[in-house]
């Protein structure tokens, strides 16, 4: 925040000083439509006399590698008076062209990662050139926070590369670095990623693809036969269908249960979510539609997993359908 309680603040300039006394300056102009309505450098808050100002300082291409520090702030009021403030504290800015330390290659093992059931760990390995005193820390952040941010002391491998563990969150489809900072024992840094306007690493940590749909076997019923009178009231005709699930990769998330009518169309019975499971017994509750005439009716069932794959039973218009004709997937309405 800057302030001038007489004519108000007009301009703010910020100067950074780097190696060899080199300087770079950025400035912002305050614009006020009313005493307390305006902005300064894109930042709002305060008022004409004490505004919050955002000042962008752009370092030129090939700016000197090293630490740049806040060395001065110049304030100008609305009648042209100027004050230069020095001796300010502020976080230093580390500047690099990756000319001292650099990373030659980036890899991850395993890649792809099986994170279908929960968050999963992979190891990112870097081949670092030019490090003085070894690699002290590696810090990483990821686009959309799909992997967990980290700051770690890396493990040094026998071939001279360094490795850090990375956790990929469940349901993340992939992870790419938005920021990767490698710091050596002498304080030199190499940076990668869009956060710094630096080159991308080119490394994508992917989720293991799924090509195996879920399947059901061993269908059993609490009851399969209902009188016409029972089917008129759901509370007298409720049934429970059970089956054994096999979903070796992606967990199952939902199902649709229906009855197949004589004309081949389906009438929905129930639909719902499943809490992400890979195996065991699934149970589906339902009751016959009240308009069914006496007879035997196939039951249609579709399950789908988190990857979008599905399996169907007695639903021939669906992909990956199995017709079951042994009576284990049907209900009977009696007079």
Query: Which of 206, 225, 245 marks a domain boundary?
Result: 206
Q: Does residue 85 belong to any structural domain of this protein?
A: yes
Dihedral angle, C-alpha 96, 105, 149, 174, nearest 10 °: 130
Overall average pLDDT of the 121-136 stretch: 98
Q: Does residue 1 belong to any structural domain of this protein?
A: no
Q: Does residue 3 belong to any structural domain of this protein?
A: no
Q: If DSSP codes are grouped into helix, strand and coil, which group holds residue 145?
A: helix
Residue 44: which pLDDT band, with cuts at 50, 70 and 90?
Answer: low
- CATH code at position 237: 2.60.40.3880
Residue 45: which pLDDT band, with cuts at 50, 70 and 90?
Answer: low
Residue 47: which pLDDT band, with cuts at 50, 70 and 90?
Answer: low
Upper half-sphere CA count for residue 60 (Cβ side, 13 Å): 8
Please tell me which residue, 43 or 285, carries the higher pLDDT value: 285
Buried b (16+ CB within 10 A) or exposed e, 171-196: ebebbbbbbbbbbbeeebbbbbbeee
Query: Which of 206, 226, 242 marks a domain boundary?
Result: 206
Would strands 310-313 and 295-305 be described as parallel, antiparallel, or unpaired? antiparallel
Taking a C-beta distance cutoff of 8 angstroms, is the pair 200, 194 a contact? Answer: yes
Buried b (16+ CB within 10 A) or exposed e, 65-78: bbebebbbbbbbbe
Overall average pLDDT of the 15-32 stretch: 87
Which regions of 153-223 does DSSP assign to beta strands (E)? 155-156, 162-168, 174-184, 189-192, 204-206, 215-221
Q: Does residue 4 belong to any structural domain of this protein?
A: no
- CATH code at position 199: 2.60.40.650
Same domain, 229 and 189: no
Residue 1 has pLDDT above 70, yes or no: no
Q: If DSSP codes are grouped into helix, strand and coil, which group holds residue 6?
A: coil
| DSSP per-residue codes, 17-73 | E-GGG-EEEEEEEEEEEETTEEEETTB--S-SSS-------PPPTTPPSEEEEEEEE
Same domain, 241 and 282: yes
Same domain, 115 and 202: yes
Task: Please report the pLDDT score of residue 46 as a whole number.
Answer: 66
Q: Which domain holds residue 36?
A: 9-95
Residue 189 has pLDDT above 60, yes or no: yes
Domain count, the chain: 3
Query: The tokens of 98 are what?
Result: 């990756």
Q: Where are the alpha helices (DSSP H) in the chain?
A: none
Q: Does residue 142 belong to any structural domain of this protein?
A: yes
Q: Does residue 230 belong to any structural domain of this protein?
A: yes
Same domain, 228 and 271: yes
Of the chain, the percentage scoring pLDDT greater than 90 comes to 69
Same domain, 161 and 236: no
Q: Does residue 308 belong to any structural domain of this protein?
A: yes
Query: Which of 77, 95, 113 marks a domain boundary?
Result: 95
d(CA 328, CA 311): 17
Taking a C-beta distance cutoff of 8 angstroms, is the pair 248, 241 a contact? Answer: no
Overall average pLDDT of the 286-297 stretch: 95
Query: The tokens of 43 are what?
Result: 């930042």
Nearest to 315 by CA among 261, 247, 272, 240: 261
Task: Give, for 84, the enclosing helix (H) or strand (E).
Answer: strand 82-85
φ/ψ of residue 78, rounded to 5: -80, 0
Same domain, 125 and 146: yes
| Strand-pair partners of 174 | 206
Overall average pLDDT of the 313-334 stretch: 96
Same domain, 14 and 47: yes
Same domain, 90 and 115: no
Same domain, 68 and 117: no
Same domain, 326 and 219: yes
Q: Is the dihedral of CA 23, 28, 29, 35 positive or negative?
A: negative
Same domain, 111 and 75: no
Same domain, 23 and 56: yes
Q: Does residue 162 belong to any structural domain of this protein?
A: yes
């Amino acid at each position: 925040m800057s302030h001038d309680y007489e004519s108000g603040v007009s301009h703010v300039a910020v100067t950074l000083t780097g190696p060899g006394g080199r300087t770079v300056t950025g400035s912002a102009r305050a614009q006020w439509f009313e005493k307390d309505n305006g902005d300064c450098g894109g930042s709002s808050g305060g008022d004409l006399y004490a505004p919050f100002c955002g000042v962008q300082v752009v370092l030129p291409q090939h700016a000197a590698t090293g630490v740049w520090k806040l060395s001065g702030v110049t304030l100008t009021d609305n009648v042209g008076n100027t004050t230069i403030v020095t001796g300010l504290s502020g976080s230093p800015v580390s500047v690099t062209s990756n000319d001292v330390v650099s990373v030659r290659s980036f890899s991850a093992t395993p890649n792809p990662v099986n994170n279908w059931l929960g968050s999963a760990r992979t190891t990112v390995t870097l081949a670092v050139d030019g490090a003085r005193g070894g690699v002290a820390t590696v810090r990483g952040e990821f686009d959309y926070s799909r992997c967990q941010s980290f700051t770690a002391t890396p493990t040094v491998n026998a071939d001279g590369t360094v490795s850090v563990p990375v956790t990929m969150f469940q349901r993340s489809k992939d992870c790419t670095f938005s920021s990767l900072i490698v710091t050596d024992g002498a304080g030199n840094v190499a940076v990668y990623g869009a956060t710094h306007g630096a080159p991308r690493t080119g490394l994508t940590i992917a989720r293991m693809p799924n090509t195996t749909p879920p399947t059901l076997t061993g269908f059993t019923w609490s009851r399969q036969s209902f009188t016409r009178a029972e089917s008129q009231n759901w509370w007298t005709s409720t049934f429970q269908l059970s089956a054994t699930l096999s979903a070796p990769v992606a967990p199952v998330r939902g199902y649709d249960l229906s009855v197949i009518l004589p004309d081949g169309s389906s009438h929905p019975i129930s639909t719902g979510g499943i809490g992400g499971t890979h195996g065991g017994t699934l149970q589906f509750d339902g009751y016959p539609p009240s308009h069914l005439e006496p007879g035997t009716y196939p039951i249609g069932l579709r399950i789908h997993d988190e990857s979008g794959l599905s399996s169907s039973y007695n639903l021939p218009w669906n992909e990956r359908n199995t017709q079951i004709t042994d009576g284990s997937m049907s209900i009977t309405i009696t007079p």
